Each structure stands twice: as C-alpha cells, then as structure tokens.
Amino acid sequence: WLNALQIRIQCVFKQGLAILKLQKNSLQLFNITFLLKPSSIQASEFDSSDEEPIEDEQTPIQISWLPLSRVNCSQFLGLCALPGCKFKNVRRNVEKDTEELKSCGIQDIFVFCTRGELSKYRVPNLLDLYQQCGIITHHHPIADGGTPDIACCCEIMEELAICLKNNRKTLIHCYGGLGRSCLVAACLLLYLSDTVSPEQAIDSLRDLRGSGAIQTIKQYNYLHEFRDKLAAYLSSRDSRSRSVSR
C-alpha cells in the first residue's frame, strides 16, 4: 500500500542513531529518530551511502615552536600533529593543511609516522603532497610509542642540525605530536648542548606541548641514555671509518 501512495521509506544509521525518513514525491513528510544501544547493532551497520558527510575542520593547524636559544641556536623548531588526519573525531583537510604549512614558510619537514600509519589516518600520499608544495621531506619512520635505533636517531640529529644551521624553517611531526616528535626534539636539545640535562629537555617539551609529551617509559629511558649511546655509536662509526681508509 505504501507503493500505491508513492511513499518512500529510508532508514539511515548515523552516530548511534537510526533515522527513519518518509517521503512522498520527493517531499519529506517527517523523520523519526531512534537512539540505538551500542550492543544492539554491529559497527558495519552504521555504514550507509546515504549518510551525510562530516565536514572537515576549518581551524588552522596548530604548530608549537620550540626556541633553541638555550642550545646556542637562533632558530625555532616546529612541532605539530599529523596534517590532514582523519581518525575518530579528527577531520582535517590534507590539502588545506599542506597549503597552510607552505604559506607559513616551512622548508623542511621530518615525518616519523610509518607508511602504515599514513594509510590508517587517511593521508597515504602526504609525503608526495609535501614534495609537490616544494617542501623537502625527511621520512624516518618510528613505531608509535617507540624509539629510533641510535644510528637512525644520529642521522635525524645530523639532518636537523644542517637544516637549522642553514636557517631553514623546519617542522617535525608524528601522529599526535607528543611522543616521537617530542622525543626527537628533546634529543636534539641534548645533541646541540652538553649543558642541558634530560630532565630539562623533557620539561621544555612539556611546557611547550603539554604533560603528554614524552609518552612512554621506553621513550623516557631512551632520552636518559641518549648521550651515552650516541657517544658509543659515534666512536664505533669513527673506528670503522678509519679502518676502511687504511
């Protein structure tokens, strides 16, 4: 009988709600909304081609600038969360974010997310977008919550030092801009100065990015062992270099 009356019923699942829409000749009669219990529906049932798209965030990407004056450097190092990220309640626009970074004058970006993370957070082509914007990209993937091996960290330190020495506006990021990025920034403070202690480096990053900076015990311990491990690595590298040159 609904067909005879030319009435169309449509059910849309959206954010824990079931919305029943009744239409007649493209004229909407009324909507009925039901609140669904989480246990009463499978996650896949929330997917609907008729679901209205969630708008991307319009707020500018937030960059925190770490002053490096205490380590005898006149530059600042930028830290931020993952540009263009679409995950859970975060809905950023990757094109807008990359254009904004370009307009800020960013010249070099260090990315610590893995390729898998970039796909997970819906920015699989982010590195290519940076390059298309004329930004030099340094990709050093580090596992989420983890630490780089000392050889990789030394390479990052050397590349960062060159960027800063050449007065290049430099930004680093991981996913949230709290764990891996803050760890690398703290290591940089220790790398550039012998007078900064690990605790002072941690405090600097937590003052800048909040109490969540340096997130795991593994990262905390890594920072405290950084100078000894770096010295041992550089000594070993120099020994190998001398052996090859003989």
| Residue 57 included in any domain | no
Q: Provide the pLDDT for residue 218.
A: 97
How far is it, in rounded angstroms, from Cα 83 to Cα 96? 9
Q: Are residues 197 and 142 in the same domain?
A: yes
Q: Residue 7 phi/psi, 5° resolution?
A: -105, 130
| Residue 214 included in any domain | yes
| Residue 180 included in any domain | yes
Q: Are residues 171 and 85 in the same domain?
A: yes
62 DSSP 8-state letter: P
Which amino acid, 166?
N
| Residue 123 included in any domain | yes
Q: Are residues 29 and 96 in the same domain?
A: no
**Distance set, CA 153 to CA 16, 73, 110, 174, 234 (Å):** 44, 20, 12, 15, 12
Q: Residue 5 phi/psi, 5° resolution?
A: -85, 0
Write down the catalytic residue from 85, 113, 163, 174. 174
- Cα angle for residues 13, 19, 22 (degrees, 5° grid): 130
CATH code, 141 = 3.90.190.10
The model's pTM: 0.76
Tell me how many domains the chain contains: 2
| Residue 195 included in any domain | yes
Q: Provide the pLDDT for residue 238.
A: 82
Q: Are residues 95 and 211 in the same domain?
A: yes
Show the tokens assigned to 216.
Answer: 């795991």
Q: Provide the pLDDT for residue 39.
A: 47
Q: How many residues does the chain have?
A: 246
| Residue 59 included in any domain | no
CB–CB of 92/57 below 8 Å? yes
User: Is 152 noted as a catalytic residue in this protein?
Assistant: no
Burial class (CB in 10 A: 0-12, 13-18, 19+), 231: exposed
How far is it, in rounded angstroms, from Cα 236 to Cα 216? 28
**Residue in 199, 209, 198, 200 with CA at minimum distance from that of residue 174:** 209
| Residue 29 included in any domain | yes
Q: Are residues 116 and 161 in the same domain?
A: yes
4 DSSP 8-state letter: T
Domain enclosing residue 26, as ranges: 7-46
Q: Provide the pLDDT for residue 20.
A: 62
Q: Provide the pLDDT for residue 48.
A: 37
Q: Are residues 27 and 106 in the same domain?
A: no
| Residue 55 included in any domain | no
Q: Are residues 90 and 209 in the same domain?
A: yes
Q: Are residues 131 and 193 in the same domain?
A: yes
Encode the chain (246 residues) as per-residue pLDDT tens digits.
Answer: 445 555 566 665 555 555 666 665 555 555 565 555 544 444 434 343 344 455 676 789 999 999 999 999 999 999 999 999 999 999 999 999 999 999 999 999 999 999 999 999 999 999 999 999 999 999 999 999 999 999 999 999 999 999 999 999 999 999 999 999 999 999 999 999 999 999 999 999 999 999 999 989 999 999 999 999 999 999 998 887 776 666
Q: Provide the pLDDT for residue 114.
A: 98
